[in-house]
Structures are given as structure tokens and as C-alpha cells.
Structure 1
């Protein structure tokens, strides 16, 4: 699927002042915009708007020559690593990278090294760079047999499985990596990493580190199964956090309880790539979608949640950035919290037990900000909100709607929300199916 339109609106007001910083070389991204299957020339047109929203990185479609079928999955069926073709030429990719760097956006390349294309003309396994000797014999994967032999050595969905123990194969992959680095690529996503042995993946990451002098940020697609856990790979690089995705899917779906996210099951790594949904979990994109949402709006609220957290590296699909207005403000909130944390201010995430509601979640980020999400079909409205046992105190401004909230300590030493938009009301009011982001401001802003 192609996404031809991308939100190019600029976050207004003083929020824009926070966007001047950029992730240092190799630093964990603030948030990654996934341009998915878009052409490089199209991405070049809007990439600078992402910096204004607060993104630090953009992830692009695989660059190598692939199956020419028009569907997105064809990009994940390589034909020839020596040629950049499909989503754009080598020159178009270079122009995208140059423009992104001018706007302080870094570019992550998606690489597919586990397998090759399944096409009639290659049924004898003679590709431009590989021959039959470079592949494992055909066999089926068993995800529950107690070993990882079939996951690593067998064919994924009928795609010819490369024998990565062969130096020739690794050399061809490394040449592709080197070409992308010379073009200016700042990091890599490894597709189907769990179908490659950890030792081989580590050798590729080591090569990237040596060629880039440690300046890239890399992550691995690891979808856990009965034989594979994230811990087999997250010692090498960050991994995709499908554990957290499944936790959020249960909580944000109809009948789920947001209180289960107070301490959600997740990969034990603050670098892990988190997402409300990705291209593998969307039924409209993938007939074999992984635990898809029945209502896409639930996934947008989950995306809002991952953007509010301190931990994780949020990945946001291009279509989701367009879908609802609060997502781009979540990116802005995350950028601001990252910067305030760098200034030595406390921004630890903590889900607060102040509403005791299955449909409303409140998360503080130290005293510097807070996040509220209401997944319910009705407006959440309470006249009094006791925040005594929280870090919140002072004046806060909501980024999207630009209204202020005051948290004050009263004579009884308890803290309450005394202003929600105006001094005529306290407590909290959140519209149905909405998410709000608040940043701390000088007290004068609440007067």
C-alpha cells in the first residue's frame, strides 16, 4: 500500500522552540516515522515537516532490487543487492538522505538478509549474485519443537533461505551495508532477524559499527514464538517489543482494562521499539496479521500511550501520523520530555492510580508533564481530582488544545486540580476516545 499524503502541519506556539535539538550519532531515537512503502522522491518532499513535529528518525522501505510486484510485501523479497531499485534510484535515495540531514532527521534503512524472492524465474535458485549452493534445502518451520533449528535453517513462507554461514553470502550483504552507509544512512532495521542466528546478526552489527565508527542506531525485528524470546537477540541491538504490543492490544481493545498497563508485560529493555501497530499487525495489509485490532482507533490510542512513555523507542506508521491529531502532539511531548530529562529534570514515567477506571489512564512524567487517555465511548468528567501522592504540582499546558491546568496544595496539605481550562472548574474532563499531553509551564501561564 502507498501512502501519498503525510501530515505536514507545524506544531504551533512555543512547542516549536523545543525542536532545534537532534539526536546525536548513535543516540536512541526520540521517535521513528515509518514511511513504509513510499517512494523516496515522495518522502523527500515532506521529510522536513517531520522535524517540526518532533521526529528524530525516519525509516524507509528496503532499497535493494526486489520482486517487482506492486504490493508492499514484494520489497521484502530481494533479487539483487548490488542494485538500488523499486522505491527509487540510488540518486533519489541520496537526495532524500541529504535533505533529511539538512532538516536534522536521521534515516534508518530496512535490510532483508534472511531470504530471497520467490518468483518463477528463480525456481532453480540462480539469482544475479547467488546460486543454489548459497541456500539451505527447502524445509518447513516448526515454531514449537523446542529448538531453533527450523527457524534459522528452513524457508520462511516458501522464500528461499540463504545460508548465512557462507562467506560469499555475508560479503554480498556487507557490500550492500557499505553502499548504504556511504550514501549517508544512519541506522538499520534487520527484517526477520529471528530467522538468522544471533551470532550472524551480531557479526553484521559489528561490521556496521566498524564501518560507521559506532554512529548508527540499529534494531532487529524479533517476533517471539514458542522457540524464540527477545532475550536471544536484545543483547545485540534493540528489538521490536511485541510483548508490549500484546499487552496494549488487550488493554485498549473493547472490554480491556487500562489499569493492567500500570506495570505492563514488555521486553526488559528501555531501547526496544514500541508501536501501537505496525505493518505486520494490520489486517488490511497482511492476511496473516499478528494479533490485529478489530478497531483501528484502539491502535491509535495505544500509539498515543507509547509516545507518552519514558521507555521504548516509538515507531509510528505514516498512515497513523495522519489518522488522528493527537499523535503528532505525542511526538512533540516526547521530544520535550527527552530534552527536559537531558537538563537534569526528573521525567520518570509513572501510571497514577488517581481515577481507578478501566477506560482512563493518567501517567506522570516526574513533575514535568503528564498524559491522559480516555478509550471509553463517553466523556470522562470528574469535579475533583486528588493528586496528593504524585509529583505533579504547578501549571501545565495541553499541547494540542492549548489550555492550562493548575495543581495546587491546599491548607490540608493535599494537592488537587484547581483549574481545568478555567478557574471556574477543577477536576478533569477528557472527551471520549481522546488523548491529551501536558507540559509544565511557569505559574504565570495559569493566571
Structure 2
């Protein structure tokens, strides 16, 4: 078992946070998604303007915007009662202003879309914006005939994930399961998604996609008023009949195995095994996979994933994800919670409070220095192959991305000193973006000199790393 020591590097470097943007993001496509989980709309808009756009994030994923049940728990947002854009995160006008602000900053907006179900019986009406509702009766939206009633298990709930019919026709924890094969339901869901598109939204995370046939999602996509990015939540289950691969024809699919396996490599196995991480591990094709170290579900419900509570090793795992070319990466941005159901920082009425990073419970991993700077690395090396892989057979690895970037991670319990690394980088001086920020012609952290042959030397502390890329090359 590896010792997960929090060395001085973790406290003094990994968790140091840039005060703000130092320079414009490198040129090139912006691929990285920031999941600002349960942020309110004014805070998202401000973050796009002041940080996400300038630091090179390409997308922001926002939590469900539709009217939901009342309550303080995080999951109330996943219990719709109508499709009015009015929630504890803000009004329709605030949502539209957020989208406009993000677009002005060069950041596209992905909405977490709850289309599989409506609310269950844990709460009672009215909804957040005052809409009347009861289980299977959402006036003006749905009535009892618009839902599946599978007749299984005495309460219509899913018990057997080995039964395709049950998973896609019974209820997930008593949530009223929409008949997404019915024409009326499809039309109503498409109207909701198209309303969001009319406000400028660029894509959707399709929540609980596993509980809908892929053909039903394909039909919804065909009804959209314009093209939109889709990423589908399909959790892999060994031996289950419903597989993530069924959904790739609709768009990207979340690769849930990625975060669990990456955590296992960093915690108890060997980073050397990561040399073919991705499709060779039985994962989805890289062009269809959406990956993450953790998300809002796995950080609560899945044993063996890394989260913000792992501090330095979590930052290193994100650094690897952002440097490695497999899949489309999402960076999680969390708030503190002491129980599974705890919702975001809110006032007494349940309205989500403004997000002030690193205070009031907001953890803001997307602003951690290592993670934010590796977004720039990702943009700089886009499209470049992995070259010159090195490992010591254990937990010291290094690799380049063409001639555009180079990362080395030392997750051993001791330092690696005086070693030379063979990169394809052009000769010159580089800012080590793990520990510093490039600011014009200087670096706030260590500088590394690459010689004419592409070689450089570095001392790397235990559980530390060095990352160089052409966007951080000093004049």
C-alpha cells in the first residue's frame, strides 16, 4: 500500500490557488469541462468571465435549471415538477444572463438535463416556483398515463440490474419514470430542451441515460432545433445487459471505470500500468468517452475514487487526466459536505448562496493551481501523440505529447534527484506549471531549461510532478 503522505509540496504548491488569470489561454481548441456543481447562475456567469474563460476552460457544466421540489438536499435539483426555468439557483432571466456572460468569455454551457423521470414521494408540493404537483400528476405537464408502471417488486422500483426491462421501465428509487417511448412525452421533453437551446445552451448532460433506451435518446436528439453536444450518463456494471457502448451513436458517454481505476493506480498499484490507459483497458473508444476523476455522484456513493479530500494526490490524478489524450475530461468543482444528502451552501429559504471560492464551504477544485494550469497544458498539446514514455516499473512515470508538452510524476515515497528527461520540446526556458505561473517573460515558480537535444534535468520531490508546455515557454 503506498503511503499517501502530504509532503510540503502538497501544502505549499498543489493547493496554492492563482489569484486570477495571468495571461490569455494558449491558442487552440478548448476541450476541458468545469462542472460547477450546484453553483447559482450569477456566480457561474462571474466565474466564466473572471476565471474559466481566461484560463482556457472550454465548457461549463451547470446543474439542472428546471423547477424542482423544495428542500435543502443536493438531490432536490434532480426531482423536477415542471420545466419552468426557475430553481434555487436563480430565475430564467438570471440563467439567460449567465449563458450570455459565459459565451462572451469564450465558454460554452452544458446543462444537466433530467429527462428520465419526475419527482418521487419524499417531498410534497408546491414546487420551488409554486407549481402544484403530486406523484404522477404534474398539472399542465404530465399525468398518470405518461409514466411507466412496470408492476414489479411490489412498488415498481428497480431491484435487478441484470434485467434490461426492469432497469428501463421500473422506477429508480421511486422517481416517477417517464414513458420516453411515448410520442407526447418525447414532444414535451424536446420542448424543454429546445427552450434551453433558445436561451443559448450548447449541450446537455443526459442524466440517468441508462434508464432510457438509446433509441429514445436518439429520438429526442432528432427533435432538437439545432445541433447540440450530448454526453450521456451510463454507469458500467459488470455482467449487466445494458452497456455504455450502446449509446455512442447519440454522442459521448461517461466512462465511469476511468476514475475508479485511476484512483486504484495512485492509491495502491503502480503508475507504470498507465502506459496504455484507455481503450486497451476495455473502455469506450476515446472519441466517445467523457472522463473524470470524480463527479457529484461518485464522490458520495462510490468507494475507491479520489476526491478533493485527498488533496495532493487528487491534484496529481487530475494532472495526469489533463495530460493524457484519452477521452474528453471534466474537472469537478465541489462544496464541503459532512453527510451524503447535504446540499450546497444555502440561505434559510433554500436559495443557493453565491460561490466564493475557498470560503463558505466552496472547494473550487477547478481553481487549484495544478488543475487550472494543466488546462492550459491540455490546450497546448491538443492532437499531439504520446511520445517517449518512461517508467521505473513502479510509481515514477514521464511522457511527452509530441513536441508540445511533457509531464513527469513521481508518486514514490522518496525524491527523484538529478535525473535527466528526454523530451521533444524545443530548446529554451520553461515555466514549470505544476509549481508556478507564467507572467509575461517571468515565472512565479521554478524554471526548467531544455537543451538543443530536448533533454532537461529536474529534482522531483516525493508525490510531486513537473509539467512543461510550449504555452509556458519563456522568451
Same fold (TM over 0.5): yes
Q: CA offset at residue 151 of structure 1? A: 1.2
- Of 130, 135, 148, which aligns to 2:142? 130
Please give the TM-score of this superposition, normalised by the length of structure 2.
0.77
My pick for the range that moved more, 86-95 or 67-76, is 67-76
1:138-158 CA-to-partner distances (Å, cap 9, x unmatched) read: 42324553x411111111122
Cα distance, 1:160–1:385 mapped onto 2, change above 3 Å: same
Q: Is the 8 A contact 1:371 1:438 kept in 2?
A: yes
Q: CA offset at residue 275 of structure 1? A: 1.0
Q: Is the 8 A contact 1:376 1:432 kept in 2?
A: yes
Q: Which residue in 2 is equivalent to 1:178? A: 194
Q: CA offset at residue 221 of structure 1? A: 1.0
Q: CA offset at residue 228 of structure 1? A: 2.5
1:294-350 CA-to-partner distances (Å, cap 9, x unmatched) read: 862333322111111223211111245357421000001111223xx4xxxxx2124
- Of 365, 380, 387, which aligns to 1:321? 365
Q: CA offset at residue 359 of structure 1? A: 2.1
Q: Which residue in 2 is equivalent to 1:154? A: 170
Q: Please state if 1:374 is matched with 2:404.
A: no
Q: Is the 8 A contact 2:428 2:473 kept in 1?
A: yes
1:102-137 CA-to-partner distances (Å, cap 9, x unmatched) read: 111111111001111113535542123111111112
Q: Which residue in 2 is equivalent to 1:348? A: 385
Distance 1:304 1:171 in 2: 42
- Of 109, 112, 134, which aligns to 1:107? 109
Q: Is the 8 A contact 2:41 2:90 kept in 1?
A: yes
Distance 2:405 2:157 in 1: 50
- Of 200, 207, 217, which aligns to 2:223? 207
Q: Which residue in 1 is equivalent to 2:270? A: 257
Distance 1:271 1:125 in 2: 35
Q: CA offset at residue 8 of structure 1? A: 6.7
My pick for the range that moved more, 355-364 or 434-443, is 434-443
1:210-258 CA-to-partner distances (Å, cap 9, x unmatched) read: x12x3x22211111112332211112110111122222121111x2210
Q: Which residue in 2 is equivalent to 1:270? A: 287
Q: Is the 8 A contact 1:238 1:273 kept in 2?
A: yes
Distance 1:71 1:179 in 2: 26
Distance 1:350 1:370 in 2: 9
Distance 1:33 1:60 in 2: 9
Q: Which residue in 1 is equivalent to 2:55? A: 53
Q: Is the 8 A contact 1:262 1:351 kept in 2?
A: no
Q: Which residue in 1 is equivalent to 2:347? A: none
Number of residue pairs matched? 396
Q: CA offset at residue 9 of structure 1? A: 3.4
Cα distance, 1:391–1:19 mapped onto 2, change above 3 Å: closer
Q: CA offset at residue 62 of structure 1? A: 0.5
Distance 1:237 1:443 in 2: 36
Cα distance, 1:205–1:124 mapped onto 2, change above 3 Å: closer
Distance 1:443 1:299 in 2: 26
What do you get for the CA RMSD once the two structures are aligned?
Answer: 2.6
Q: Please state if 1:360 is matched with 2:396.
A: yes
Of the two structures, which has the highest relative contact order with CA contacts closer than 8 Å and spacing of 6 or more? 2
DSSP 3-state at the match of 1:140: coil
Distance 1:165 1:320 in 2: 39
Q: Which residue in 2 is equivalent to 1:223? A: 235
Cα distance, 1:54–1:100 mapped onto 2, change above 3 Å: same
Distance 1:385 1:238 in 2: 39
Cα distance, 1:262–1:17 mapped onto 2, change above 3 Å: same
* Structure 2 gaps, min length 5: 1-15, 125-132, 150-154, 334-362, 437-444
Q: Is the 8 A contact 1:271 1:311 kept in 2?
A: no
